[in-house]
A = this chain, B = another copy of it.
Amino acid sequence: MKTTVNSERNITLVMDFYELTMAYSYYKKNKQNEYAYFDMFYRNNPDKGGFVVAAGLQQLIEAIKFMHFSEGDIEYLRSLNHFDEEFLDYLRHFKFQGSIWAIPEGTPVFPYEPIVTVRAKLIEAQLIETFLLITMNHQSLIATKAHRIVQEAKGRPVMEFGSRRAQGYDGANYGARAAYIGGVSGTADVAAGKMFGIPVLGTMAHSFVQSFDSEYEAFKAYAEVYPDSCVLLVDTYDVLKSGIPNAINVAEEVLAPMGKRLSGIRIDSGDIAYLTKKARAMLDVAGLTDCKISISNSLDEYLIRSVLEQGARIDSFGVGENMITSKSAPVFGGVYKMCAMEVAGHIIPKIKISENTEKITNPGYKKVYRLIEKETNKAFADIIMFADEKIDVNKDLTIYSLLDRWKNKTLKAGSYEYFELQKPVFHNGEVVYPEYTLDEIRAYRKAQEDLLWDEIFRLEYPHQYYVDLSEKLINFKLAMLEEKRH
């Protein structure tokens, strides 16, 4: 159930052509055995939120594990007349043999910290760039958006209903997976149900109602086929004048004689607050107090918050295009930047300078730790350090902002704990990471969220969580910047 289409599909060529021209240059210049380190990170939370829910790692693992250039791929590359036969033969035998560390799916992550770190031969590290970014960017984006929307539903189930507006089939399938990690209760996308074991749900479209001679006939037919899970779409003609009365009639005339109850109604248009209050009252008067009201009309986190504030009587939500495309913020700007080269066993940190200070990278092979205040059991900050640095909880720990030594904070010895955020995923080409179920990932997300202050979850102007540097790293970084300036 859990194996995804990446094992059936060869997505190796989903790469930018420059990765191949660079790889070829490395190969021709005998740089193919030099090792490089790359970090994948992002700079801004989508929707000006407080964090991102990391997602996509399982598909990244599969993509790398099954990565290979087929004979068809080689033939196509040959046809471009850009590469010699020796290089094509190198690609024919290509297998990723590097090491990867990554923050587990479901973890709340923050700008500038490395979500994925790669150590591999230069060519290998370069050739996985594009599908690594697509995978992590897409799923992290949708998981984060789903989390925002589910949060505002305040415990009411939210279903992912957006396939038809997704950007491609993968957008629907992996989007549903990511949304489930983010907190939705299920999806309408049957493929995602099959691929990932996500609960699937759905009842009827307006066309179902239209295909019968009357709304009553349509409801009656559906109730007879699904007496135990009968949810009726009541807005094909007129919710209050036709839909609800017909639903009540069917509950009484078709379901009741079978000893069954009407499970729910769905409203897909109109003034939600008004209609749900009226509908609730009508159902209650008819004795259908257990009949659930479900809503699905261009919803997003703000509209859900608004209708609930207005006292709308809603038991569950179906959310479409605003979630599956993250419509208000449809791009997750994850980047993949070289942070070090390794020549003859010696690690040489690399930095990318930019006039735009937010684009300056953090040099070196690094680790990232989440620091927990013992008194509150809440996360205080994340700290990025060189991989060979160690934290000693019996000593004070000073953490520095990304570019300024004077912006720093000190945690007192004994007042804090920490854990490493990244886990080993590949070791010299072999997968060393377990395949977690989506429910395990969801449980992990919830546990990790409990470590964060509530203020981080605000939709607007959330608390800005610190991602800081060790003293050694900021000193090294500032020295590199100083040196490059001259």
Hey, which bits of chain A sit against chain B, CB under 8 A? 5, 8-9, 11, 13-22, 24-26, 28-29, 31, 34, 36, 38, 72-73, 76-77, 80, 122, 126, 129-131, 133-134, 137-138, 141-142, 161, 163-175, 188-191, 193-194, 200-208, 210-211, 221-222, 224-226, 236-238, 269-270, 321, 325-327, 330-334, 336-338, 341, 350, 352-356, 359, 484
Contacts of A353 in B (CB 8 A): 236-238
Assess the A203–B338 pair: CB atoms within 8 A: no
Among A134, A202, A332, A334, which residue has the most Cβ atoms of chain B within 10 A? A134
Assess the B331–A188 pair: CB atoms within 8 A: no
Ranked nearest first, the 7 interchain pairs of A and B with the lowest CB-CB distance are A168-B170, A18-B202, A17-B202, A330-B330, A133-B164, A207-B338, A13-B191
State in angstroms the CA–CA spacing of A166 and B22 once bound together. Answer: 22
Number of copies: 2
State in angstroms the CA–CA spacing of A190 and B11 once bound together. Answer: 10
Assess the A171–B171 pair: CB atoms within 8 A: yes
State in angstroms the CA–CA spacing of A307 and B203 once bound together. Answer: 51
Among A170, A188, A201, A337, which residue has the most Cβ atoms of chain B within 10 A? A170
- Asked if A338 meets B14 with Cβ closer than 8 Å, knowing A34-B211, A76-B194, A130-B164, the reply is no
Assess the A203–B21 pair: CB atoms within 8 A: yes
Assess the A236–B352 pair: CB atoms within 8 A: yes
CB closest residue in chain B, given A76: B194
Assess the A29–B221 pair: CB atoms within 8 A: yes
CB closest residue in chain B, given A1: B76
**Contact for A207 among B202, B332, B337, CB less than 8 A:** B337
Contacts of A332 in B (CB 8 A): 165
Contacts of A166 in B (CB 8 A): 134, 138, 167
**Contact for A225 among B29, B80, B161, B222, CB less than 8 A:** B29
Assess the A206–B356 pair: CB atoms within 8 A: no
Assess the A73–B356 pair: CB atoms within 8 A: no
Assess the B138–A211 pair: CB atoms within 8 A: no
State in angstroms the CA–CA spacing of A17 and B21 once bound together. Answer: 44
Contacts of A131 in B (CB 8 A): 169
- Asked if A13 meets B355 with Cβ closer than 8 Å, knowing A21-B202, A168-B167, A225-B29, the reply is no
Assess the B164–A171 pair: CB atoms within 8 A: no
Assess the B18–A188 pair: CB atoms within 8 A: yes
Q: A16-B189, A22-B207 are in contact. List 15 more A-B contacts (CB 8 A).
A: A11-B191, A13-B190, A13-B191, A13-B193, A17-B189, A17-B201, A25-B225, A34-B211, A130-B164, A134-B165, A167-B168, A167-B171, A170-B170, A325-B325, A326-B330
A29 → chain B closest CB, angstroms: 5
